[in-house]
Structure 1
Amino acid sequence: MIGIVGIVVVFAMVFGGYLAAGGKMAIILKSMPYELTMIGGAAVGAFVISNDLSGIKHTLRDVGKVFKGPKWKPADYRDLLCLLFELVRLARQNPVALEEHVEAPADSAIFARYPRILKDGEAVDLICDTLRSASMNYDDPHQVEEVLEKRIEANQAHALHGSHALQTMADGLPALGIVAAVLGVIKTMGSIDQPPEILGRLIGGALVGTFLGVFLAYGIVGPFAAKVRDATVEDAHFYQLIREVLVANLHSHPPNICIEVGRQNTPSHIRPSFGDLEEALKEVKQKEAA
């Protein structure tokens, strides 16, 4: 929602200020379809050239983050801590019983209680691979932490592709606007024998290309890239929380302490409160007892 508000503000301030200063929209509206065809078409073509099909789909999906924000909400962090608490406690009480959950998470009663997390293949794989490795005596906390850190960094680098692609497009739009303006000047030169009022309209139309290139770059596509980057970086905290809890588990801390380590290492604006988490863990224990 806030993304839509921002777009409305950008358009209202730019074009509202232009109209308030006595500008006329007629010349912009007349030239805009042709200029947008040249600038937008060239930008899309360059985007397709510089990305494979997977990268194009990735970027288009990421545009939704401008309006929806990060994928993981505060409630998801609380649910993740509850899920990890159940798995860590089970690993301590009955390592053999844990195997069925990490080997087939889709059929696990524990994972089934957290459907949003279960749908995220990377989060599930990160949890299951680490717990499986610990059961195979690959349980040096420092080595595991290093492996998890590299894995999370690699995943985040891939996740940031959409932001980089949008930023590359934003960087090229002003130059494409100049290309459209130059073509407009060439068109104007072909009508140099026309009266001043006609030449003025032609020159004004040519300058619309420069305006649109800069406006789209710094008013729309550039902010889109920044929003996608920020949302992607924030989502990475979800996977870092998994690392913190599971590494704390390898240090043989009690399950409650492992969960508190994860909670404390979550950024404050998405961190579950101690009281809320305690209530959620009590509900987990009651369900297990039932």
Structure 2
Amino acid sequence: MFAIIGMVVVLGAVIGGYLMEHGNLSVLFQPAEVVIIGGAALGSLLISAPLKVVIDIFKNLVGVLTGKDPEKKDYVEILMVLYDLLGMARREGVIAIESHVNAPDKSTIFSRFPSVLKNHEVRDFICDNFKTFMAAGMEPHELEALMDIDLESHHAHAMHPPHYLNRTADSLPGLGIVAAVLGIVLTMGKISEPPEVLGHSIGAALVGTFLGILACYGFLGPLAANMENKAKTKDAMLRVVRAAMIAFALGWPPPMALEAARRAIPSGERPSFEEVEEILKQARKQG
């Protein structure tokens, strides 16, 4: 939502300033320039990026424009899922959680926390690592190394869309110059026309450069940065799970493992120690 607000502010500031100088908006309406720049940018993206990455870019753009950033309650739900799983594993043995991690969609634990169930990256990370821990009986350092491999792979994959989108953004000023040069070429064919006709034609050509620079620094570049921030946020959520599981593998009791996970939450969304204590008290009463 804030991305849309930011785009409106960019357009408002640019167009508003232009109108303050008594500019003519009709001069900026150049569909041919948009076709040249937009089409060439899309084509260069298709040349440089695999099809799957291109699809991921458009999916991520939808997420940037319509999605919301994780809040404190989303992290709290991750903590509660971990606490329930770790508590059951502590009381009844690790094998007791097998049905929950094998089929999270049918799990009574996951079903109580919909934000975790819908977050496929976090859900799968929890389930996969619990299943591996149960099947292999791994040492804590082995589990830590395995989760680090998973995190590195996930982060590398998540960074592909913003990386390629940013490269496409960087090409837009150059493509704007291409559109402007084509406009100048057309203008040269009108050299015998009156000055006002030539002036309008040159102005239309320069719009290409304007559109390329504006699209780069006003829209695609910031969108790529937003996508990168969302990828880092997902990585932070996985590291919360990692902290809890490593602590549990080391033999820490579930409340201490949960405290390790709490401290892995980014400070802006991190619940206080007292908040987590109160949540655990309520959970024990309900249990």
TM-score tier, shorter chain, comes to: over 0.9
Give the share of equivalent positions with the same residue, in percent: 40
| Match for residue 83 of structure 1 among 75, 81, 84 | 81
Determine the C-alpha separation between the residues in 1 that align with 2:77 and 2:48: 39
Determine the C-alpha separation between the residues in 2 that align with 1:7 and 1:130: 40
Q: RCO (CA 8 Å, sep 6+): is it higher in 1 or 2?
A: 1
Aligned to 2:23: 23
Contact 1:101 1:107 in 2 (8 A): yes
Determine the C-alpha separation between the residues in 2 that align with 1:170 and 1:147: 36
Contact 2:77 2:115 in 1 (8 A): no
Contact 2:133 2:143 in 1 (8 A): no
Determine the C-alpha separation between the residues in 2 that align with 1:133 and 1:70: 32
Alignment of 1:50-199 (within 5 A): 50-68=48-66, 71-95=69-93, 96-199=95-198
Number of paired residues? 286
Instruction: Supply the AA of the counterpart residue of 2:233.
Output: E
* Offset of residue 65 of structure 1: 3.7
Range with greater deviation from structure 2 (33-42 or 123-132): 123-132
- 1:207 aligns to 2:185 (yes or no): no
The TM-score with structure 1 as length reference comes to 0.92
> Where in structure 1 do 4 or more consecutive aligned residues deviate above 4 Å?
68-71
Deviations 1:35-61 (A, max 9, x none): 101111111222233333322221111
Instruction: Supply the AA of the counterpart residue of 1:76.
Output: D
Cα gap change, 1:49 to 1:153, in 2 (>3 Å): same
Cα gap change, 1:132 to 1:190, in 2 (>3 Å): same
Determine the C-alpha separation between the residues in 2 that align with 1:236 and 1:64: 19
Aligned to 1:11: 11
Structure 2: 5+ residue runs without aligned partners? Answer: none
Determine the C-alpha separation between the residues in 2 that align with 1:203 and 1:168: 29
Instruction: Supply the AA of the counterpart residue of 2:53.
Output: G
The TM-score with structure 2 as length reference comes to 0.93
RMSD, aligned CA: 1.8
Question: Residue 109 of structure 1 aligns to a residue in which SS?
Answer: coil
Structure 1: 5+ residue runs without aligned partners? Answer: none
Deviations 1:204-228 (A, max 9, x none): 1111111111111111111111111
| Match for residue 35 of structure 2 among 37, 43, 56 | 37
* Offset of residue 85 of structure 1: 0.6
